[in-house]
Amino acid sequence: MDNGIGLDRNKVIVDLGKLHNIAVSGVLQKLKEIVYHNNVDVFYVLAGRYDNELHEFYFFKKFVEKLKGTFNIFLMLNTKYFPSTKYFDSIFALGVDALTLSFTEKDRGSGKFPETVRYITSLWPSGAVFTDIAAGECTGEKIKEAIAYFSKLKIIPRIMKADRCDLNSSFCLRDYIVREMKENGISFRWVNNFELCGIIQKVDGQKGRSKRKIAGKFAFELASLRRKLMLKEVESSFDSASL
C-alpha cells in the first residue's frame, strides 16, 4: 500500500497520512475504480496523524464526508484516543460506522478513562468499537489480561502481528477473545469484516447470519437517527473550537 490505498481481502484500506498532499477528488476516483472492479463495501480509514483532537478531526473530516456521500459503505475509522467526548460525538455525527482506537499507557492510567470509553461505546452500536493489541511473542497472561480488560469496556480487542504466533496460538487467542465478547455481551454483527487474530471470525449457520443482518440493519437505522438529532449541536460546538 505504498500509495496510501490498498485492498485487503474484503475491505479497502485508506491511509490518510500518505494521501494528505493529494486532492480528495483524485483519491475518490482511485477508490471508485477499486470498488467497481472488486465489489467491496467495507472501508478501513487510517487517521491518527495529529496529537490535537481539533487538528485530527479536521484532518479526516472532509475526506470522510466525501467518502460517505459518494459510496454506500461500511466505514471504520482508525484514530487516536482523546479524552474528549465532543471529539467522538463529532466522529459519530460524520457517519463513521465503527472505530478502531489507539490507546497509550498514559491514556489507560487516567482516572476518567473508563468513563470516557463507556461513553464512546454507548454512541456506537455494540460490536462497532475495536482496539489493536500488539501480540509480542503470544505468550504469558498479560495479553489475556488486556483482552479481558478491553472486553469489559465493550471494546473488541484484535491481536496484531499474529504472524509471529504459530497457528495454534492464534486460534487460542481468537477463541479467548470470542469467549470474552460473549461474557460481556458484545455483539458479533460486524466482526466478520475484521480479523481478530489474523483469522477471519466466521459466524456459523445461516439462521445466525440472518438474525445478525436484521439486528445490524436496526442498529444502523437507530445510529442514523441519533446522528441527525446531534448533528447541529456537534457542528456548532466544533466550529467554535470549544472542545
pLDDT score at 9? 74
Contact 121, 88 (CB under 8 A): no
Quick one: the chain helix, strand, coil %, rounded to 5? 55, 15, 30
Please give the Cα distance from 46 to 102 (Å, whole number). 11
pLDDT score at 136? 59
Please give the Cα distance from 4 to 183 (Å, whole number). 38
Contact 144, 176 (CB under 8 A): yes
Residue type, 152: K
User: Which of 68, 71, 15 has its CA nearest to residue 46?
Assistant: 15
Please give the Cα distance from 124 to 65 (Å, whole number). 18
Is pLDDT at 18 greater than 80 in this prediction? yes
Digit-coded pLDDT (tens) for 34-86: 988 888 888 999 987 788 898 889 888 989 999 988 988 889 999 999 998 99
Q: Which residue has the cell 445466525?
A: 208
pLDDT score at 87? 93
pLDDT score at 137? 47
User: Which of 52, 43, 26 has its CA nearest to residue 77?
Assistant: 43
pLDDT score at 78? 92
pLDDT score at 14? 92
Digit-coded pLDDT (tens) for 124-182: 989 999 998 876 544 557 888 888 999 999 999 888 755 555 545 656 778 888 899 99
Domains and CATH numbers, the chain: 5-239 (3.20.20)
Instruction: Label each residue of 89-116 as H, E or C.
Output: HHHHHHCCCEEEEECCHHHHHCCCHHHH
Digit-coded pLDDT (tens) for 80-107: 999 989 999 999 988 899 999 999 889 9
Please give the Cα distance from 39 to 27 (Å, whole number). 17
Digit-coded pLDDT (tens) for 208-241: 443 444 344 545 555 555 565 555 555 555 555 5
Is pLDDT at 108 greater than 80 in this prediction? yes
pTM of this structure: 0.79
Q: How confident is the model at residue 204 (pLDDT cuts 50, 70, 90)?
A: very low
